[in-house]
Amino acid sequence: MNETQQPAVAGPVEPTVRRGFWSSFWDGLGMGPVWRWLACKVVGHQYQVLRRMNPGARKVGCDRCGAVWGMHDRTQTLVPWDDEFEAMYALGGPLDPEHYKG
């Protein structure tokens, strides 16, 4: 695997939301959480893959408002990421990518 390819499975649990360019941009404009939420409602979310659990499932988040979802390709679903998902995919959890091979 070369440096440009990403692994199919992520390692340790990552923070819920990474701060990226757009998040810094909105901070620079002095935009608070309410304005960020409103911007996402008007023009849509800025999706970013935060973690890949397996080739068909990943954790995605919005860089602008901080909302986080679980995304599954086969069922074409996007559901809010909550503590239950975090526990299932945590290290040692029932769906830990290092141990569960589906």
* Predicted pLDDT at 19: 57
Domain regions of the chain by residue span = 21-89
* Predicted pLDDT at 20: 62
Tell me how far apart the alpha carbons of residues 100 and 5 are, in angstroms, rounded to a whole number: 23
* Predicted pLDDT at 30: 64
Q: Which of 22, 99, 10, 1 is nearest to 54 (CA)?
A: 10
* Predicted pLDDT at 2: 46
The string of DSSP letters for 16-51 reads: SS---HHHHHHHHTT--HHHHHHHHHHH---EEEEE
* Predicted pLDDT at 75: 92
* SS3 at position 85: helix
* Predicted pLDDT at 53: 83
- pLDDT tens, N- to C-terminus, the chain (102 residues): 444 444 444 444 444 445 566 666 666 666 676 777 777 888 888 889 998 888 888 999 988 888 899 999 899 998 999 998 888 888 887 877 677 666
Q: Which of 51, 48, 67 is nearest to 12 (CA)?
A: 51
Sheet holding 57-62, edge to edge: 47-54, 57-62, 68-72, 77-80
Q: Which amino acid would we find at residue 24?
A: S
* Predicted pLDDT at 24: 66
